[in-house]
Structure 1
């Protein structure tokens, strides 16, 4: 199936909401049902999710819920899903989830300040670290095969050895919650974004905060590295993408204004030139960087905020979660245009 749209140019505001785009006549509801619905699977989580993660080598996806529960599902190419685990992981909201140990365990971080490792086969706790942070844990990412990084509500970022179960690094990097992080293996740098409107660069080798950007007027909510390491892209609360040049972090070098009428909650790198953006209005879009343009809409969550995006291990599926309590798994092979210059909606800004 060729999942593409007639070539045309539309204003950025027309892409602020997929329902608005559909109602505009550029894309019909029949197109929506035929192309998006056929390539999309929905899993009703029953409660609002905070985070999700795909298994590194199998067709499994985990979801962290506001109730403190952890869910694990098996998904298939035939749009079917099976719940494998439902675990009461934390006493308060489960805010972050990732797979560790080659996918043998799931690690979660919580508002209750604890970190938990859970066996994916039995659902039993492998290890729990109480009071891992002084404040509620907000974010968690994989750093290496045996290390993870966590960020809390007061701006502290920590790196943990999951095998030794010890803290390797601790950084007082921000003055507000750590919204997102990403790691650069070549330089040993951990980058973080925060509700205080700053981007931080932490050096794991020297255990120091190397630099921090000037304060932005808006909260920074997401971060990815693109252009072969030359650009750092941050999503902000006002719908603007801030582009920083590597090594020049004090102020952004470029801005992509008008991508969304409200916050860009999460970013997922597609390749060195394209990123997938999830926005507060529920729209998920493919966005080109330098030149800055919206390439095509991918999916939506009925105008509910997008909490997290992720790729399956084979990059054939895109996962998304939102306040609508749904985990959606979208077939990328059916959703992406065949080429960047193919038939797709292009917005010039």
Structure 2
């Protein structure tokens, strides 16, 4: 199905229990549509919510209201049934509101263009927590309910971890040259995945947020603007090109890391062989034979120890099943042996 909105849409959200979808537009309008699989979506609500663009929308209170945020610094709550304004905070932030997310049944979080994150109680219509977490705009946030920690990404290239119980920024990553645009928690809370404006994915291990543990490059030629968690192992990504990619498996990312590691290992092997060739050429024939055997044994042992470590770390029963070309690395050393026996160094 396709809906012609007439204006550029900034954000969408789906109702938690009904077939309703809401969107915020660049002209400040809020639209609500009812959809079914066998009919054209029907617009059931249209509200001019803000004087400027409507950047963020979220269903709150179990879908009874829609929360919107705008560059006019206001946050508005609109009744789903009537379209009436429930509450408006005109000076909710000191700068443009860029992001809204649900935390619990009665709390939401908002982020603005100056890096400030606020937590709101929807019942009391008041601010519970304020975090000056970043230096630039808040691009995305996600919530770890079990630990009561709010994670945020920013255009300043950092990931922040805000502790709601202690009301402080508990951890923050080092500055990256890449703008971080989206964040999700994967692998049952063990991994945090961030996307960047140059198409990379950065993986952080939970509790070790200072620097990313893995970085997967060249996954997209364009920015990866949105990450959507499908399950604990799979992601859906949205790009600035308008393309939606399904099936970026975390296991695939592991395999990709092995692929990158083996390519680096192959380059290292070639350089090492070149160095040993220079050394061997300076020796006598007898010395070369003895030294060559020691070199080959040590280098091949290093290769297979690294491959074994990857197998244990990533839980693969065999690397050959995933990479039929992994046995090409030791072939370099086999050729090295054969060249020596055939008199290449003589």
TM bracket, shorter-chain basis: 0.7 to 0.9
Question: Unaligned 5+ residue runs, structure 2?
Answer: 256-321, 325-346
Structure that is richer in strand per residue: 1
Q: 1:96 aligns with which of 44, 53, 56?
A: 56
Name the residue aligned to 2:253.
292
C-alpha distance after superposition, 1:173-196 (max 9, x if no partner): 000000000000110000000000
Q: 1:148 aligns with which of 95, 103, 108?
A: 108
Q: Quick one: distance in 1 between partners of 2:176 and 2:198?
A: 11
Structure that is richer in helix per residue: 2
Residues 1:117 and 2:77 are matched in the alignment: yes
Name the residue aligned to 1:82.
42
- How far did residue 141 of structure 1 move? 0.2
Name the residue aligned to 1:106.
66
- How far did residue 293 of structure 1 move? 8.2
Asked if structure 2 preserves the Cα contact closer than 8 Å seen for 1:113 and 1:133, the reply is yes
- How far did residue 135 of structure 1 move? 0.6
Name the residue aligned to 2:233.
273
Q: Which has the larger radius of gyration?
A: 2
Q: Quick one: distance in 2 between partners of 1:257 and 1:65?
A: 32
Q: 2:222 aligns with which of 262, 276, 279?
A: 262
Name the residue aligned to 2:302.
none
Assess, with a 3 A threshold, how the Cα gap between structure 1 residues 130 and 257 changes in structure 2: closer, same or farther: same
C-alpha distance after superposition, 1:219-275 (max 9, x if no partner): 000000000100000000110000000000011001121111111000000000000
- How far did residue 347 of structure 1 move? 12
3-state SS, counterpart of residue 128 of structure 2: strand
- How far did residue 128 of structure 1 move? 0.4
User: With structure 1 as the length reference, what TM-score do the two structures score?
Assistant: 0.72
Question: Unaligned 5+ residue runs, structure 1?
Answer: 1-40, 295-345
Residues 1:175 and 2:135 are matched in the alignment: yes
Aligned residues: 258
Q: Give runs of aligned pairs for residues 310-349 of structure 1, distance below 5 A.
A: none
Q: Give runs of aligned pairs for residues 15-94 of structure 1, distance below 5 A.
A: 41-94=1-54
**Deviating 4+ runs (over 3 angstroms):** none
Q: Comparing both chains, which one has the higher relative contact order based on Cα–Cα distances under 8 Å and sequence gaps of 6 or more?
A: 1
Assess, with a 3 A threshold, how the Cα gap between structure 1 residues 252 and 109 changes in structure 2: closer, same or farther: same
3-state SS, counterpart of residue 43 of structure 2: strand
Q: Quick one: distance in 2 between partners of 1:186 and 1:49?
A: 33
Q: Quick one: distance in 2 between partners of 1:262 and 1:291?
A: 20
Q: 2:202 aligns with which of 237, 242, 245?
A: 242
C-alpha distance after superposition, 1:275-324 (max 9, x if no partner): 00001122111211133189xxxxxxxxxxxxxxxxxxxxxxxxxxxxxx
Assess, with a 3 A threshold, how the Cα gap between structure 1 residues 293 and 276 changes in structure 2: closer, same or farther: farther
Q: Give runs of aligned pairs for residues 211-222 of structure 1, distance below 5 A.
A: 211-222=171-182
Assess, with a 3 A threshold, how the Cα gap between structure 1 residues 208 and 58 changes in structure 2: closer, same or farther: same
User: With structure 2 as the length reference, what TM-score do the two structures score?
Assistant: 0.73
Q: Quick one: distance in 2 between partners of 1:119 and 1:233?
A: 34
Q: Quick one: distance in 2 between partners of 1:130 and 1:292?
A: 44
- How far did residue 78 of structure 1 move? 1.1
3-state SS, counterpart of residue 81 of structure 1: strand
Q: CA RMSD in A?
A: 1.8
Q: Is 163-172 or 251-260 further displaced after alignment?
A: 251-260
Q: Quick one: distance in 1 between partners of 2:124 and 2:37?
A: 37
Asked if structure 2 preserves the Cα contact closer than 8 Å seen for 1:293 and 1:347, the reply is no
Q: 1:163 aligns with which of 94, 115, 123?
A: 123
3-state SS, counterpart of residue 239 of structure 1: coil
3-state SS, counterpart of residue 157 of structure 1: strand
Assess, with a 3 A threshold, how the Cα gap between structure 1 residues 250 and 62 changes in structure 2: closer, same or farther: same
